Amino acid sequence: MRRAVWLLGLCQCILWGVLYYSFSVLLVPMEATLALSRTAVAGAFSAGLLAMALLAPAVGRWLDLGHAASVTRIGMALAALGLGIVGTAQGVTALYVGWLCIGIAMAFLLYEPAFALVARAVEAEPHRVRALAAVTVMGGLASTIFLPIVSTLVEALGWRSTALVGVGAIVVAASIMEVWVVPSLRASDASRAKRPSQRPGAWPRHMRALIAIFASGTLASMALTLLLIPLLLTRGTEPSVAAMVLAALGIAQLPGRIWLLHGRNAIPPELLKTWPIVFQVIGLTVVTFASSASVIAGGVAVFGLGSGLHTLSRPWLIQGLYGVAEVGRWNGEIARAQGFSRAAAPLLMVGAAAVFGIPTVLLTVAGILIFTLPFALRLPHSSA
């Protein structure tokens, strides 16, 4: 099972890199070739993210019913189809159709389904947290690995051929999932014995608090990602240095996950309930008030530590509060709220920064995070 978990993480790295992070590299050449505005091209990606968010709860319910293999196969097929459509697109309609297919595929393939597979296959809590950490450590490397790879391919082959190379990467990931991962991460006997209730509209206690906590965390991550480079440039930082500081955000998410990966004891509840929020608030505050790039980089590192732990805390809390029978369903509900935050953040954050200034926006986001801290403090880890 250990090999299957690491291979699942490898697939997450490929999928995040090809389906999500590659867009930032493809944006400008697509804009030029298709003679479209940047807003129109970015809108295709936003449409895909919106589709991903809307489908997340339904995908979670299918996973709870034991359809992991089918979900994976459909997702891989849609990912390959979407990339193929994007790579051959001649106009705005095909571009939007392609990214809608990719967005639906992301709902079927990214962290939420992976978390559900692990939660249902690994029963003991310490082992489950370490398995989740392994998956997210690999997934967290996606931007670091794939942004330079995709950029190099675009320069050498052009964006259309790069999209078609992405289809090949999806085929590789699909083969790994089909042969090694899904067969090895079958639901445990205890998980299969508990059938999900599937009661539509019946939300359990603490669900609204969880949605507020994780949607706010996603909003904070998007705000920092979108506004960090403009903030650094206004403070006299060279563009290349500003880009390096932002690139460090992904790497900064890894230390906490690696520490949990090698932990031998039970996880202290506060570590995954409250400290992620505290680290994010501290990081945003440092970034807002610091004047030098080195101090801002330290704030980014602290924020990244909290963000990395936040990603792990969601499946850990959901399984503890609601059990494994409906882990996909409730994980999907929270993922939908996070998806809405992710899709709305570019317009909301950039627009607010233009009116009120970047420091005010970052401090406001930090205040929203502080508002969610009492909810996190009151969360039990277990439903017992």
Query: How far is 272 from 312, CA to CA, in rounded Å?
Result: 7
Cα–Cα distance list, 321 to 127, 144, 325 (Å): 17, 34, 11
Number of Cβ atoms within 10 Å of the Cβ of 198: 12
Structure tokens at 128: 């489950």
Q: What is the pLDDT of residue 190?
A: 56
- Residue 384: pLDDT band with limits 50, 70, 90: very low
pTM, 2 dp = 0.85
All structural domains of the chain with their residue ranges: 2-193, 207-378
Query: How far is 200 from 97, CA to CA, in rounded Å?
Result: 30
Same fold for the pair 2-193 and 207-378: yes
Per-residue pLDDT reduced to its tens digit, 213-223 = 999 999 999 99
Mean pLDDT across the chain, nearest whole number?
Answer: 89
Mean pLDDT of 279-300: 95
Per-residue pLDDT reduced to its tens digit, 99-154 = 999 999 999 999 988 988 898 888 777 788 889 999 999 998 998 889 889 989 99
198: left (phi over 0), alpha (psi -120 to 50) or beta: left
Query: What is the CATH code of the structural domain delimited by 207-378?
Result: 1.20.1250.20
Query: What is the CATH code of the structural domain delimited by 2-193?
Result: 1.20.1250.20
Query: How far is 188 from 109, CA to CA, in rounded Å?
Result: 21
The pLDDT of residue 325 is above 50? yes
- Comparing C-alpha atoms, which of 183, 280, 268, 275 is closest to residue 223? 280
